[in-house]
A and B are shown apart, each in its own frame.
Chain A
Amino acid sequence: MLNDLTLAPSQACGAFRLVPLLREKNRTDLRLGLSKESGFAVLEPKAVYTSYIPHALVVEWNDGSAPLAAVGTQLKKHRHSSAVPPGVFHRMAKRQDGRRLRFLPLHLAMDGLLALHFGGPTVQWGYFSRQAMSKGFSPRVESSVAGWALEGFADALRVFEIHEGQVGVLVFVADSLATAFVAPHPDDYRALHDALLQDFFGELIWQYAVLYPESPPCEFPTPAEGVNSLADLRVAVEVMRSDWASFGRMAAVGVMDVPVTAEKVYDAGPFRLERFIGSLDPADENHIGERIVAPDGSVQYLKTYRLSANQTRRAYMLKQLADHDWNVESIAKKHRLTANDVLLQYEHAGYGWLFHQHVLDAARAYARKYS
């Protein structure tokens, strides 16, 4: 996904390790900036998306004839009042005047996750409850933690030294990838570096930040007996440095190259704003996110969110239902379980309300009897 980006040596602070992403040649016909408006809810057709949204991003593009200035630095008439009424945004991604699009970072991706099979069962099997049939998965809820609530994240961002030509960053917490962020231009990145604090993160990342306040120390690679001259020490330090520098490359490789299911959100001129969901395999790390892809296939904007194990599991179970035509027996057959086991697993994951109470009671009684 990030082929044209190179990784610079990581910078660690407490539990956090930030790996800078550099790009040699930057486009000038796409800019990303911070919107000055703020809101807390999004009106969507037939639904309300409610969440605290501290910031929105604005993307601006042109046809490539002339370079664009960074968002917020153009010489133009300043508008004092917001075009949208404060408090409520219309849609996750909304075209503004000219070639501008306002969208809510990560909420776009999260919206995609929450909307998965939102309509509910498409086949009316007898065990689905009345609510599941009539209302589907509304309201579907996932919780997350704001960046500023992560222990030490503000400090890690503050002491981080932004490189020349840096367009992105990979944020690792306790050496597992928390988020990846790429901006189209180094100036945009510089402006949005601190906005990472306002993004949201999974509960898992929050726990990692509390549980592992320090990164594991680097071991000196050579035992004392092997050192007989300064040259030996020099070799040992080189080994240590290459180990340290290769970390980001190794840790990022598995995550960035997994197949994702992408969905187009908006066509911004030649650019394509997409959101994507990873494989949702419970055994894997799973990321959701959004990206802007340029015509040449390079990723100009990227922001990802790492799903916690429970979130992955919930999404995975929904996907299973949909893939099996909402048939519990079919799922049970595939995994060589009984339908009762499957029902109880769904109840355990918080989907008990999908089924009639008497169905669940019967499954529980059966499990008690034969266990």
Chain B
Amino acid sequence: MFAERTQREDIVHFLNSCYACTGQREFYENARSQRVSIDFLHQYVLGNYRSVYARALAVGINHFNQAQIIVRLLATGKQAIPGEGALIARALATMPPQRAWKALRDVRRLGINNRRARAIARDYLRGRDAVFDCVKYRNKVKAVACHNHLSLPGEAGPFLFEKRSAPFQTPLFEQVRRAWHSAEAVYELPFTVAEGLAAKHRIPRDQFLAKIQHRMTQGERLRLQKAGDVAIDLGRSPLTKLALYALSLPEVAEDVSQGMERAVAAILRRMPMALGRVAAILDNSYSTSGTQEKKRRPLGVAWAVDRVLAVASCEYRAFWTHPFAGPTPPARGATDLATPILDALETSPELLVIVTDAVENDPPGAAAGVLKLWQSRLDPWGKVAIVHLNPVFSAGDYAPRPLCDGVPTVGLRDAESLPTALAFARFATGTTTRADLEAFLDQRAAEFLAAGEGADRAE
């Protein structure tokens, strides 16, 4: 019985960590401790629960951990189990291309070279627009092609490996060649490539930004909003990114808040949620200001969750740890979770969502005490479902830090994965069995692969 419980907890720990951890510096911990901790978890689960490890690719974990899993699975090809390859290929296809190419390049860096790894790299390239990737992700593609002896289509080979000045037949390659010598040709290239060449040609930044706009991706447009006059349709950006952008502004403009509303609507269209009476405890203490690498990330996630819940529930009340008057929550003050939790419980909600890093210091341990006594004394039948969503991975705990026993803690990547997190919460309580967990993983893996087949057929 204990073995079963240990196994279940191991797996839940691992998946939870994969939702939250990005290996970057967090407010309370440095990047190194985060990397050491998550590396250990990966090695441990790979060694002991290989089938779970592969299927973890399908449950909506973040891209950093997807890349880690892919590299580690490819590195240990001898112990491969059936079905892994399809999951890896599908995961690579769903990841942002720069991350997928980076994962494949890491395969080279680690000196991994086996038939499966080569086949996966080959298939990945086949699924992509080779010409475009050769231009935009030149160094990565070059490294991967070199390592795996990929046969490159058309002029990609000469483009990547030869130093020559003769014209290319492929238009995009020819553009790159011309952009080396002509400042005007720069504007036909993808933004990141053009950026370097613009610096070479000493094109003034504002002039460059004004003329390159039509080649920017949505993410690049959002990133450069404050750098210059870049037109953007904010409604197409993901909600969490928009929230972080709004938090970085001195004043939230009308179009940003409209963009956020549209982003919320888009999330709920994709994954409909119908919640009843919901109360949310949202942490905006000083620690949510994050770090240089993840600036205001915990605060942005909490705010985005607040926006989603406000639309998805029939009756919704938000309790910030530091109530604020303005349009955006500031990250200030100590973390007092007990008072907002008590306030929220007084409204007798059906679902209580707590979004916090669970580091409580005003006073420490009060929220844990309150929740424990609430569950044992005042609500032993569990009428109020309580979920703790934690956007921060704690290296010392090898998981997102829990708030209290009996309250499920789920790592939260961003507000877009809120439905996934709420679905996963039942596994974190400890009431389900390993078989339930396996069934969940199987189902998610099947859905993940089926979506890929559907997409392939559509193409």
- Residues in chain A within 8 A of chain B (CB atoms): 9, 11-13, 155, 159, 161, 215, 217-220, 222, 224, 227-230, 233-234, 236-237, 240-241, 243-245
What B residues does A244 contact at CB under 8 A? 362-364
From A12, A155, A234, A243, contact of B342 by CB (8 A): A234
Q: Give CA–CA (A269, B211) in the complex, Å.
A: 62
Q: Closest residue of chain B to A12, judged by CB? A: B361
A215 to B361, CA, bound (A): 11
CA gap between A40 and B28 in the complex, in Å: 34
Q: Is the CB of B373 within 8 A of A240?
A: no
B369 CB contact (under 8 Å) in A155, A220, A230, A245 = A220
Q: A281 CA to B269 CA in the complex, in Å?
A: 73
Known: A217-B364, A237-B342. 4 other contacts (CB 8 A): A215-B364, A228-B378, A230-B342, A230-B378
Contacts of B286 in A (CB 8 A): 159, 161
Partner of B374, one of A9, A161, A233, A241: A233
Which segment, of B54-62, B92-100, B333-341, faces chain A? B333-341
B287 at the interface (CB under 8 A from A): yes
Given A230-B342, A234-B342, does the pair A240, B366 have CB atoms closer than 8 Å?
yes
Dominant SS among interface residues on chain B: helix
A240, B363: Cβ atoms closer than 8 Å: yes
Q: Cβ of A161 and Cβ of B364 under 8 Å apart?
A: no
> Which residues of A have CB within 8 Å of B27?
159
Q: What band does the interface of chain B fall in when counting residues whose beta carbon is under 8 Å from A?
A: 20 to 34
Contact B366 A218 (CB under 8 A): yes
Closest 3 CB pairs of A and B: A220-B369, A244-B363, A161-B286
B164 in the interface (beta carbon within 8 A): no
CA distance A12 to B359 in the complex (A): 11
User: In the complex, what distance in Å separates the CA atom of A219 from the CA atom of B338?
Assistant: 14
Q: Tell me, in angstroms, the Cα distance from A240 to B366 when the chains sit together.
A: 7
B:365-392 near A, CB below 8 Å: 365-366, 369-370, 372-374, 376-378
CA distance A12 to B363 in the complex (A): 10
In the bound complex, residues from chain A placing their C-beta under 8 Å from that of B361 are 11-12
For B369, what are the chain A residues with a Cβ–Cβ distance below 8 Å? 220, 236-237, 240
Pairwise interchain contact B377-A9, C-beta atoms closer than 8 A: no
Which residue from chain A places its CB closest to the CB of B345 in the assembled complex?
Answer: A230
Contact with A along B316-355 (1 / 0, CB 8 A): 0000000000000000111010110010011000000000
**Given the interface contacts A159-B287, A218-B366, does A237 sit within 8 Å of B339 by beta carbon?**
yes
Contacts of B287 on A, CB cut-off 8 Å? Answer: 159
Q: Which residue of A lies closest to B360 (CB)?
A: A218
Please report which residues of chain B, range 1-46, place their CB below 8 angstroms from some CB of chain A when the two chains form the complex: 27-28
Given the known A-B contacts A159-B28, A237-B342, are A218 and B365 also in contact in the complex, defined by CB atoms under 8 Å?
yes
